């Protein structure tokens, strides 16, 4: 017995291992930043919106 909506969920199911791998990389990166005293309070910023002057940094 196969549910009719199951076939629509297969692509999402196939991406779950990739999601787990990316989450593991993020967790390892976060732990290493916490363990390093210089990077403990570092906040990685992302530039959002339009940047008028590409030479300006955050």
Q: What is the dihedral of CA 6, 11, 13, 19, to 10 degrees?
A: -160
Q: Would you say the C-alpha torsion 46, 58, 29, 35 has a positive or negative sign?
A: negative
Q: What average pLDDT does this structure show over 50-57?
A: 64
**What pTM did the predictor assign?**
0.59
From CA 58, how far away is CA 55, in angstroms rounded? Answer: 10
Confidence of residue 51 (pLDDT cuts 50, 70, 90): low
Q: What is the dihedral of CA 53, 56, 57, 58, to 10 degrees?
A: -80
Q: What average pLDDT does this structure show over 21-34?
A: 92
């Amino acid at each position: 017995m196969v549910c009719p909506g199951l076939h629509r969920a297969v692509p999402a199911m196939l991406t779950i291992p990739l999601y787990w791998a990316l989450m593991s990389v993020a967790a390892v990166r976060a732990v290493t930043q916490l363990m390093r005293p210089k990077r403990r309070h570092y906040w990685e910023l992302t530039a959002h919106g339009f940047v008028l002057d590409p030479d300006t940094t955050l």
